[in-house]
């Protein structure tokens, strides 16, 4: 992308009184966290989502699902924020009003210094009772439990039944409050920045669709393109390459 286009994009973001940033797995790809739908490296190319990421799958094979999430927790634990996460955090610091909404279950935005992140799909580091036995998700600190790693999932300290990761699985509802805040922001913002999402998973994908339907500038940072790239302003580059350039230009405006 030439310098003039980078500057124009930075100017559009700066001129917008309210910006929504919407991120997906591609935002963490350069940190070494695999995406879901990239043809060769995506998790859903190797694993079957229906066998691993639904409440039905967990009931049918709790150990398989728990252990798979432990494997993914390991990947996330070893990951560090990349230049794209850092640039988004910088936008949040320099711009008066940005809402960051992510589909990601890692905490790399927070590690990069993002002051506030709406997590639509939960947080993989957290654990809760599969039955929500204490009411709305009561988180359990795994480090305080002693359990046999071969005998998983570990039992809930309150009811003795299964623990599970605090993520949203297919066929489950997203938090109403989080979704409402994200949709309201999409209805009101003046520009949107999509980063690293295929834009196919609903209801999350409605966020950029609302922006497009309203005719506001929507930038789509994605080296391979998303389902919405044609309607948006597509930036066919990795987030960690292009976003620092945009923020460098932004800081000079
Ligand atoms: P996907 O795996 O569907 O899409 C990731 C996108 O990131 C792809 O379009 C890639 O082209 C793009 N990408 C890859 N590397 C990139 C980079 N360096 N910079 C920018 N973009 C890059 O992931 P999501 O759209 O996040 O749901 O998937 C949405 C949901 O589907 C996830 O939250 C998860 C999954 O099943 C749940 O767990 C409920």
pLDDT in tens, 164-210: 999 999 999 999 999 999 999 999 999 999 999 999 999 999 999 99
The answer, yes or no, to whether residue 9 has pLDDT greater than 90, is: yes
Question: Pocket residues for ligand 1 (CB within 6 Å)?
Answer: 24-26, 29-30, 35-38, 42, 49, 53, 103, 121, 167-168, 195-198, 201, 221-224, 226, 238-239
The answer to whether residues 105 and 204 touch, using CB atoms and an 8 Å cutoff, is no
The overall average pLDDT reported for the chain is: 95
Segment 80-96 shows an average pLDDT of 98
The answer, yes or no, to whether residue 150 has pLDDT greater than 90, is: no
Percentage of residues in the chain with pLDDT exceeding 90?
89
Question: What is the CA(115)–ligand 1 centre distance, in A?
Answer: 22
Question: What is the CA(193)–ligand 1 centre distance, in A?
Answer: 14
Segment 89-134, tens digit of pLDDT? 999 999 999 999 999 999 999 999 999 999 999 999 999 999 999 9
Instruction: Indicate the pLDDT class of residue 79, thresholds 50, 70 and 90.
Output: very high
Ligand 1 atom showing the smallest separation from residue 221 Cα: 20
Max Cα-Cα span within the chain = 60
Predicted local confidence at residue 218, as pLDDT: 98
With 0-12 / 13-18 / 19 or more C-beta atoms within 10 angstroms meaning exposed / middle / buried, residue 29 is buried
Measured CA to CA, the distance from residue 80 to residue 85 in angstroms comes to 10
Q: Name which of 87, 85, 92 is nearest 29 in CA terms.
A: 85
Give catalytic residue positions. Answer: 121
Measured CA to CA, the distance from residue 163 to residue 170 in angstroms comes to 18
The answer to whether residues 198 and 227 touch, using CB atoms and an 8 Å cutoff, is yes
Structure-token pair, residue 216 = 């506001």
Instruction: Indicate the pLDDT class of residue 50, thresholds 50, 70 and 90.
Output: confident
How many of the other CB atoms lie within 10 Å of CB of 225?
14
Predicted local confidence at residue 208, as pLDDT: 98
Measured CA to CA, the distance from residue 83 to residue 34 in angstroms comes to 17
The answer, yes or no, to whether residue 148 has pLDDT greater than 90, is: no
Measured CA to CA, the distance from residue 38 to residue 41 in angstroms comes to 6
Strands, DSSP E only, in 116-232?
118-119, 122-129, 139-140, 163-167, 191-195, 218-221
């Amino acid at each position: 992308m030439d310098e003039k286009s980078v500057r124009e994009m930075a100017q559009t973001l700066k001129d917008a009184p309210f910006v929504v940033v919407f991120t997906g797995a591609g935002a963490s790809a350069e940190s070494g966290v695999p995406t879901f739908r990239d043809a060769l490296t995506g998790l859903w190319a190797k694993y079957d989502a229906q066998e691993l990421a639904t409440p039905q799958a967990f009931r049918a094979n709790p150990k398989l699902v728990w252990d798979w999430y432990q494997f993914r927790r390991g990947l996330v634990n070893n990951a560090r924020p990349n230049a794209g996460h850092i640039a988004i955090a910088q936008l949040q610091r320099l711009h008066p009003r940005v809402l960051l909404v992510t589909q990601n279950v890692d905490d790399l935005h927070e590690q990069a210094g993002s002051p506030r992140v709406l997590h639509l799909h939960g947080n993989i580091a957290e654990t809760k009772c599969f039955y929500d036995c204490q009411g709305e998700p009561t988180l359990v600190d795994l480090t305080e439990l002693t359990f046999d790693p071969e005998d998983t999932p570990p039992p809930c300290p309150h009811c003795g039944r299964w623990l599970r990761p605090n993520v949203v699985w297919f066929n489950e509802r997203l938090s109403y409050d989080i979704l409402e805040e994200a949709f309201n922001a999409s209805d009101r913002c003046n520009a949107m920045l999509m980063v690293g999402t295929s834009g196919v998973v609903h209801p999350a994908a409605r966020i950029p669709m609302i922006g497009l339907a309203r005719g506001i500038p929507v930038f789509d940072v994605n080296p391979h393109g998303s389902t919405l790239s044609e309607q948006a302003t597509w930036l066919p580059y990795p987030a960690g390459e292009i976003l620092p350039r945009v923020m460098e230009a932004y800081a000079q405006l």
